[in-house]
Chains A and B, each alone.
Chain A
Amino acid sequence: MMISRRIWQKRPPTSSWIFLRPYTSQISVPSPSPSRFPVQTPSLIGFLSSYAASSFRSVYKISSLEMPSMVSRCCYSNHALADLPASGIVDVPLAQTGEGIAECELLKWFVKEGDEIEEFQPLCAVQSDKATIEITSRYKGKVAQLLHAPGNIVKVGETLLKLVVGDSAVPTPSSDVLESVKPPGSENSPDSKLNKDTVGGVLATPTVRNLAKLYGINLYDVDATGKDGRVLKEDVLKYAVQKGAADGPSTASVSADCREQLLGEEETYPQTFAEVKWYPDDKTVPLRGFQRTMVKTMSMAAKIPHFHYVEEINCDALVKLKASFQNNNSDPNIKHTFLPSLIKSLSMAMSKYPFMNSCFNEESLEVILKGSHNIGIAMATQHGLAVPNIKNVQSLSILEITKELSRLQQLAKDNELNPADNSGGTITLSNIGAIGGKFGAPLLNLPEVAIIAMGRIEKVPRLSDDGNVYPSPIMTVNIGADHRVLDGATVAKFCNEWKQLIENPELLLLQMR
């Protein structure tokens, strides 16, 4: 092992910038000149003129002005200490840690609620893409509340934790006081008599204070059951019930007015005081995995001009075919369903109408007729909508399709589909009928140009030629197509071909190799 010391090489100034950052065109990267860049608290103006948006400001005493979601009293100047409130709760947001990065994963906390912290003390570690970053505190204070747990994804600008800063010199018996930071809405309270109830001194969150104000309740009168003597929502509601029962009709009329206000604001409050129930809070569900992907893909799909073509298919022959497969099935592991036959006949029809199995390149206005028939099957799993595809259906037998379908379904159920299974599809089948419904109007699975939603097979009455009514298993299908590439005639002819193959499966033999 060789250790040597080298004088740092002076980097030659370069004028060219080889840097491909497709999503960050608005951010200017600093010039790499070797001149010393002042690092200790430069003036805000000077700093901003060099960096557009994304300096790591929670390390330095410079706050970012671009955080729209910072609601509470975070400072907006680099003189953080001078502008600080004498006492109060400060929301510490996740500062921008690098341009284009919208969120980070919280890895671990270095502090816990109640800890005293110094300025620049590390608070937590987060990970964004390739970097783990320690977030340090701008203020000296005490940790009031941690708002995220390790593993959470935190958006840039979202509050990480709340700090109590400065000397909270409020004369109350409890040592750590949460001074009320009034939410903007509460300033508009019409009843001035109620204002005295929100004077600081009682531990309660702004929501609870608001609730008490609306009910005309003095927080001092409420029995607090929360930690450190904090008044909780349940305490206020309980007191309100008791008060309502004691005060009788006069309270009921007050409550009626309050109810209108409440319903206007929150819509979760009870009809009368006597029936106060504890309504559950809203639950926020962050979208991950398949659901998250679906937001993106469906937003893009909605921009494409779709048209829909509906047809009914007689499934008599299909039903008989499936029964025959099942009766002659010697392998207990294989379960025969309608889908594989539908998939194979779809592929046969696409061979005649290759435009149905294509993708469209907007920039070059070219349609790529795909060689393989990779038929995607939409699957509803507990993790969301997955669309794995069966590759090269044109070369597979119905039995092979059955096995492959079963394999994909199992993987989807276990959330073990790999990206290769999910990508490369050329057309999608959505068997929504397995769950229910007559038919749907599906949205394209880009970059494909066609998608087929199949309703369930149901027995409906039909008239024969001689006027008799007979039952017929009918499946309604809805083909969604990209009208930039496909027209009604093409889709109609394709569908006729597919319908013919389903209704007369012996025709598949004609084309079998």
Chain B
Amino acid sequence: MMIQQQGKKVGLPLMNLVRLNRTPILKQLHLEEKLLRKSSTNWCIINDGTDTPAIVMGISGKPSELLEIGSVLRDQVPVIKRFTGGGTVVVDKGTVFVTLICNKDDVPGVQPYPRSIMSWSGLLYNQVFKGIADFQLRENDYVFGNRKFGGNAQSITKNRWIHHTSFLWDYAEGNMAFLKQPARAPEYRM
């Protein structure tokens, strides 16, 4: 509480940092949604990998359009529909998840709409990946050059927003076969 008050005096909001290791992605998503809707402070959650491979779709994802259902059923891969928009990803122990949950007024210069949030997160990750392999935020994806290595998604509520990313630190090629090519591709890949 003291730190919070002191922080407020300096004029900067506080952020709680949560470090997880191999926490199941479903549990992480439950936690995130709860924090978004019920908490009133800012959070940064970092999860180093999930325990078993899983497929995570956006809120309006339709399995028949996005997944090779036969393979998914055969290999009994869990399919999760998350509460944010965006696309589909296969995650496993090689995925690094980074989530930012903020009050709309707390981040200087950031307005609660997707482009503004992503401008800011792009800058943040620019610092992280400085000098590495031409990192950019291109349209909605985090890329090295024109190779996407992290997708992201948002949910914006009345007073808060969440921006979360799955960075593919490593991935199993075989797992990618569970996903169909999406109907829409970003312009930079055309």
Chain A interface (Cβ < 8 Å from any Cβ of B): 1-8, 10-11, 14, 18-23, 29-37, 39, 51, 54-56, 59, 97-101, 105, 107, 120, 122, 127-134, 136, 418-420
Contacts and interface: CB of A to CB of B under 8 A. Distances in A.
B137 A19 contact: yes
Contacts of B104: 39
Interface of B: 3-4, 7, 10-20, 42, 58-60, 83-87, 104-105, 108-109, 111-117, 119-120, 122-124, 126, 136-140, 151-158, 180-183, 187-188
A56 B110 CA distance: 12
Contacts of B13: 8
Contacts of B85: 127-132
Given A21-B139, A59-B158, A132-B59, A98 B108 contact: no
Contacts of B18: 1-3
**Which 8 A/B pairs are nearest by Cβ-Cβ distance?**
A131-B154, A56-B113, A130-B86, A131-B114, A127-B85, A98-B115, A98-B114, A8-B12
Given A5-B16, A32-B120, A129-B86, A39 B181 contact: no
B20 to A, nearest CB: 6
Contacts of A32: 109, 119-120, 123
B184 to A, nearest CB: 9
B113 A5 contact: no
Decide if the interface of chain B is mainly helix, strand, loop or mixed. Answer: mixed
A3 B139 CA distance: 33
A30 B60 contact: no
12 contacts: A1-B20, A2-B17, A5-B15, A18-B122, A30-B116, A56-B111, A98-B115, A107-B60, A122-B157, A127-B85, A130-B84, A134-B156
A221 B112 CA distance: 52
B137 A18 contact: yes
Contacts of A51: 111
A64 B58 CA distance: 29
Nearest to A101: B114
Given A31-B109, A419-B181, A131 B123 contact: no
Contacts of A11: 108, 123-124
A6 B137 contact: no
A7 B108 contact: no
A1 to B, nearest CB: 6
Contacts of B181: 418-420
Contact of B7 (A4, A7, A22): A7
Contacts of A130: 58, 84-87, 114, 140, 151-154
Nearest to A96: B113
B21 to A, nearest CB: 8
